[in-house]
């Protein structure tokens, strides 16, 4: 068990895979980190020396925005839009799609699960 | 796709003269504009615009956070007051 960038505890997987458990690090950035530190692709986290783990930690702290900081930044961006009173902010406030998608149907990811409309008559033959 | 940087921000030319005139007159009057497509430039900060939404001129007080957005973003063109059946979701 190794702790990198705060709470994250990647396991006995390859380094490029387990770094992705950190919020804000995906395939590309995980690969970048490994190449920068000359860690071979097939190395697993439990095979890393303490020094290497330390260097990964330092690199992430210095060059990448991850976890809480990143989440805060995203939340601030959305909050800025909402406070501005612009169209995108309104859409965020209402929980509707922001980028001009249709809402007649679909848009279920933003709108949440469909709610039955009370009092709507069923079509009968 | 995003606009090319070398073109600079899009603004209708007359917006600049309108803004200039309002600046020099000193009074903070609402500048009525129809050009919803124009980008808000730093020199518009502090002025109040009436942005037409097809019905009315909605007053928009420009602050520095709005720079880079378009005027139309601050003047919604549609009114949605909720569906008749669902009373819970009704808004003012």
ipTM of the complex: 0.75
Q: What residue of A is the nearest CA neighbor of B77?
A: A87
Q: What is the DSSP letter of A10?
A: -
> Cβ of A116 under 8 Å from any chain B Cβ?
no
> Residue B69 has what pLDDT?
92
* Residue scoring higher pLDDT (B82 or A66): A66
Residue B4, pLDDT > 90, answer: yes
> Residue B90 has what pLDDT?
46
> Across residues A19-43, what is the average pLDDT?
89
> Residue B86 has what pLDDT?
55
> Cβ of A86 under 8 Å from any chain B Cβ?
yes
Give ∠ CA B42-B61-B7 in degrees, rounded to 5.
Answer: 30
- How does the average pLDDT of chain B come out, rounded? 85
CA distance B76 to chain A (A): 7
- How does the average pLDDT of chain A come out, rounded? 86
> Residue A119 has what pLDDT?
65
Q: What is the residue-wise DSSP string for A33-78?
A: HHHHTT--TT-BGGGS-HHHHHHHHHHHHHH---HHHHHHHHHHHH
pLDDT in tens, A56-113: 888 888 888 888 899 999 999 999 999 998 999 999 999 999 999 998 888 899 888 8
Q: What residue of A is the nearest CA neighbor of B87?
A: A118
CA distance B34 to chain A (A): 17
pTM, full prediction: 0.75
> Residue B40 has what pLDDT?
92
Dihedral sign computed on CA atoms, order A19, A24, A29, A34: negative
> Cβ of B45 under 8 Å from any chain A Cβ?
no
Q: CA-to-CA distance for A15 and A96, rounded, in angstroms?
A: 38
> Residue B91 has what pLDDT?
46
> Cβ of A115 under 8 Å from any chain B Cβ?
yes
Candidates B72, B74, B83; nearest CB to A85:
B74
Angle between helix axes A27-36 and A50-63 (nearest 10 degrees) is 120
A39: nearest Cα among A26, A52, A50 = A52
Q: CA-to-CA distance for A29 and B65, rounded, in angstroms?
A: 31
> Cβ of B76 under 8 Å from any chain A Cβ?
yes
B80: nearest Cα among B72, B71, B89 = B89
């Amino acid at each position: 068990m190794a702790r990198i960038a705060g709470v994250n505890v990647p396991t006995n997987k390859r380094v490029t895979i387990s770094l992705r458990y950190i919020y804000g690090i995906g395939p590309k950035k995980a690969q970048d980190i490994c190449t920068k530190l000359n860690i071979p692709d097939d190395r697993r986290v439990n095979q890393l020396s303490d020094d290497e783990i330390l260097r990964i930690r330092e690199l992430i702290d210095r060059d990448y925005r991850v976890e809480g900081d990143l989440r805060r930044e995203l939340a601030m961006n959305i909050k800025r839009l909402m406070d501005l009173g612009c169209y995108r902010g309104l859409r965020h406030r209402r929980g509707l799609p922001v980028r001009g998608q249709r809402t007649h149907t679909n848009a279920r990811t933003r709108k949440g699960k469909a709610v039955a409309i009370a009092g709507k008559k069923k079509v009968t033959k | 796709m995003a606009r090319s940087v070398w073109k600079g921000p899009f603004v209708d030319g007359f917006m600049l003269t309108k803004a200039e005139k309002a600046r020099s007159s000193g009074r903070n009057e609402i500048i009525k504009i129809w050009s919803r497509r124009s980008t808000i430039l730093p020199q518009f900060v502090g002025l109040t615009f009436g942005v037409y939404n097809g019905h009315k001129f909605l007053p928009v007080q420009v602050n520095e956070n709005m720079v880079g957005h378009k005027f139309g973003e601050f003047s919604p063109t549609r009114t949605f007051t909720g569906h008749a059946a669902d009373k819970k979701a009704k808004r003012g």
